[in-house]
């Protein structure tokens, strides 16, 4: 597994949110999940997919601290 | 004396999802025509299961009705529920913003919760491992899920509740809504949409031993007939907007009718020949409404389609109304039994009968009954008061009286 990219995250978020046409708009990476309209359940569902697909398990503490897509991508890559 | 005022409970909105139609106009057109929505199961391969007929909501594409964001986190029945609740709210003309912040509550009933969703996640759990179970399983399977999803979608911040009393639940949810309105909540979205047309749900229906083995949609579900051998299951139900009459009048709302009476009773064994819980519930509801049996223009019975339960219900109705003493309308012969959805859908039919002055006929051929006036053709007649009955497995009985807006008994 080389790395986990923002595009990979967008693909997972499409499944978790049901938004098939979701695209990373400008400033997406640095906008908080709250401001993007994604609640903690979307993050939990996404974390489940990351664990299944990339073998990186994010703890509850991780999920509480991660606020933006960029932070999530960096945290996953640190664990790959 | 406003301090001791008991709020009247007007019905100011209606939403329906049924095997006989999505939306009130389509449902009522089919129902008054005696059209049936019972067909061979298409939602899964039902070969090898008992029965094989069901009342499925036809042509439902969830993405056409609800936001994409809700799709990964909702069971089929919750999606149907969201559609019916939206129709009920929009037909009432109410907007959450125009009512006090905690002024709109929600009261639902459920028998199976999000059963199909739960089945799929169980498959993931045992087939792939626990890390494959969706985070949304935490609530998507749950009995109270429709109360939660409807309240979130429409911003309803008043009291929320869910009752679980099997097929009696739809009426119990309306009874609970009335209690909230009397307690000072101006509006309650109330009702039930229920079902479990998936292998796991079907396995449960099958083990209860009440499914009809008849493969002919025209004869499989014929309650009160000597040949009745069980029922056909279905999915769907209705939501009603239950509103304080003064609140409804103040905003000039169109009132479909009022809930004037409600009661619930419990039988340890509802099939015991001496069990009288259904009859007691009916008497208590009539007393509550301040009407006599002679005031009731139509009864929507539970109609189990199971011989001992049918005999007990026929005896209760004949005991109250006399032989052939009241028209018996059974539109659920065209939908199958909808669990908690049944009582609210029958209440919706009662309100539509009041509004349109038509008693809907059965959708299957019911042979004449020596003590019951079974309505088999649409019957044009004024309806002022209707009695709705429902029984839940385990001994739950509920009775509801709905009345025409102008039919004040006092």
Domain containing A55 — which CATH number?
A: 1.10.1200.10
Under 8 Å between Cβ of B188 and B105: yes
Chains A and B form CB pairs within 8 A to the count of: 32
Contact A15 B72 (CB under 8 A): yes
Compute the distance between CA of residue B249 and CA of residue B246 in angstroms, rounded to an integer.
5
DSSP string covering B293-351, please? Answer: GGG--EEE-----SHHHHHHHHHHHHHHH-TT-SEE--GGGGT-B-TTHHHHHHHHHHH
Compute the distance between CA of residue B364 and CA of residue B367 in angstroms, rounded to an integer.
10
- How many CB atoms neighbour CB B5 within 10 A? 10
Residue B117 CA, distance from chain mean position: 22
Per-block mean pLDDT, blocks of 10 residues, chain A (80 long): 86 92 89 92 93 91 93 90
Burial of B26-62, coded b for 16+ CB within 10 Å and e otherwise, reads ebbebbbebbbbbeebebbebeeebbbbbbbbeebeb
Residue B300 tokens read as 């929507």
Chain B residues whose CB is inside 8 A of the A17 CB are 68-69, 72
Does residue A29 lie in a domain region?
yes
Q: Could you read off the pLDDT of A35-54 as tens digits, one per residue?
A: 998 988 999 999 999 999 89
Q: Is B410 exposed, middle or buried (0-12, 13-18, 19+ CB in 10 A)?
A: exposed
Strand (E) or helix (H) holding B212 = none
Of B364, B371, B240, which is closest to residue B299 (Cα–Cα)?
A: B371
Interface check for B62 against chain A (CB to CB < 8 A): the answer is no
Q: Would you write out chain B's pLDDT as a tens digit for each of its 410 residues? A: 445 688 899 999 999 999 999 999 999 999 999 999 999 999 999 999 999 999 999 999 999 999 999 999 999 999 999 999 999 999 999 987 788 889 999 999 999 999 999 999 999 999 999 889 999 999 999 999 999 999 999 999 999 999 999 999 999 999 999 999 999 999 999 999 999 999 999 999 999 999 999 999 999 999 999 999 999 999 999 999 999 999 999 999 999 999 999 999 998 776 666 678 999 999 999 999 999 999 999 999 999 999 999 999 999 999 999 999 999 999 999 999 999 999 999 999 999 999 999 999 999 999 999 999 999 999 999 999 999 999 999 899 999 999 999 886 44
Chain A residues whose CB is inside 8 A of the B133 CB are 48
3-state secondary structure chain A: CCCCCHHHHHHHHHHHHCCCCCCCCCCHHHCCHHHHCCCHHHHHHHHHHHHHHHCCCCCHHHHHHCCCHHHHHHHHHHHC
Q: For B336, phi and psi rounded to 5 degrees?
A: 80, 175
Would you say the pTM of this structure is higher than 0.80? yes
Contact A18 B69 (CB under 8 A): yes
Q: What is the DSSP letter of B223?
A: T
Does residue A44 lie in a domain region?
yes
Compute the distance between CA of residue B154 and CA of residue B303 in angstroms, rounded to an integer.
34
Interface check for A20 against chain B (CB to CB < 8 A): the answer is yes
Compute the distance between CA of residue B84 and CA of residue B76 in angstroms, rounded to an integer.
13
- The residue segments making up the domain with residue A32 are 6-79
Does residue A1 lie in a domain region?
no
Q: What is the three-class DSSP state of B229? A: coil
Compute the distance between CA of residue B92 and CA of residue B82 in angstroms, rounded to an integer.
15
Interface check for B315 against chain A (CB to CB < 8 A): the answer is no
Domains identified in chain A, total number: 1
Interface check for B152 against chain A (CB to CB < 8 A): the answer is no
Q: How far is CA A31 from CA A24, A42, A59, A61, in A?
A: 11, 15, 21, 20
Contact B68 A19 (CB under 8 A): yes
Q: Which of A18, A41, A51 sits opposite B68 (nearest CB)?
A: A18
């Amino acid at each position: 597994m080389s790395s986990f990219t923002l595009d990979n995250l967008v693909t997972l978020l499409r499944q978790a949110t049901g938004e098939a046409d979701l695209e990373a708009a400008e400033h997406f990476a640095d906008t908080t999940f709250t401001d993007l309209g994604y609640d903690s359940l979307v993050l939990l569902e996404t974390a489940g997919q990351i664990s299944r697909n990339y073998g990186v398990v994010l703890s509850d503490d991780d999920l509480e601290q991660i606020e933006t897509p960029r932070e999530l991508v960096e945290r996953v890559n640190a664990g790959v | 004396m406003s301090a001791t005022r008991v709020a009247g409970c007007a019905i100011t909105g209606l939403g329906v999802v049924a095997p006989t139609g999505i939306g009130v106009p389509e449902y009522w057109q089919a129902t008054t025509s005696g059209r049936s929505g019972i067909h061979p199961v298409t939602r899964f391969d039902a070969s090898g299961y008992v029965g094989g007929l069901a009342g499925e909501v036809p042509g439902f594409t969830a993405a056409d009705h609800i936001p994409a964001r809700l799709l990964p986190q909702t069971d089929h029945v919750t999606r149907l529920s969201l559609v019916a609740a939206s129709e009920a709210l929009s037909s009432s003309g109410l907007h959450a913003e125009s009512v006090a912040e905690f002024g709109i509550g929600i009261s639902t009933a459920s028998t199976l919760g999000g059963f199909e969703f739960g089945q799929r996640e169980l498959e993931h759990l045992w087939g792939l491992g626990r890390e494959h179970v969706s985070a949304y399983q935490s609530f998507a399977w749950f009995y109270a899920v429709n109360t939660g999803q409807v309240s979130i979608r429409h911003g309803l911040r008043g009291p929320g509740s869910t009752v679980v009393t099997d097929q009696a639940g739809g009426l119990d949810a309306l009874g609970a809504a009335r209690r909230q309105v009397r307690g000072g909540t101006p509006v309650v979205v109330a009702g039930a949409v229920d079902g479990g047309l998936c292998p796991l749900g079907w396995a449960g229906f099958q083990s209860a031993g009440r499914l009809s083995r008849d493969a002919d949609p025209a004869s499989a579900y014929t309650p009160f007939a000597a040949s009745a051998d069980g029922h056909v299951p279905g999915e769907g139900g209705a939501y009603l907007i239950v509103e304080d009459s003064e609140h409804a009048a103040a905003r000039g709302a169109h009132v479909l009718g009022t809930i004037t009476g409600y009661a619930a009773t419990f039988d340890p064994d509802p099939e015991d020949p001496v069990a009288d819980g259904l009859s007691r519930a009916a008497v208590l509801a009539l007393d509550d409404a301040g009407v006599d049996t002679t005031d009731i223009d139509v009864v929507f019975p539970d109609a189990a389609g199971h011989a001992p339960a049918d005999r007990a219900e026929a005896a209760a109705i004949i005991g109250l109304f006399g032989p052939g003493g009241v028209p018996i309308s059974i539109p659920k012969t065209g939908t199958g039994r909808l669990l908690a959805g049944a009582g609210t859908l029958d209440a919706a039919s009662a309100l539509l009968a009041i509004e349109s002055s038509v008693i809907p006929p059965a959708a299957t051929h019911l042979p004449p009954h020596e003590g019951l006036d079974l309505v088999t053709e649409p019957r044009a007649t004024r309806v002022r008061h209707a009695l709705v009955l429902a029984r839940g497995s385990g001994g739950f009985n509920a009775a509801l009286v709905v009345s025409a807006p102008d039919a004040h008994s006092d």
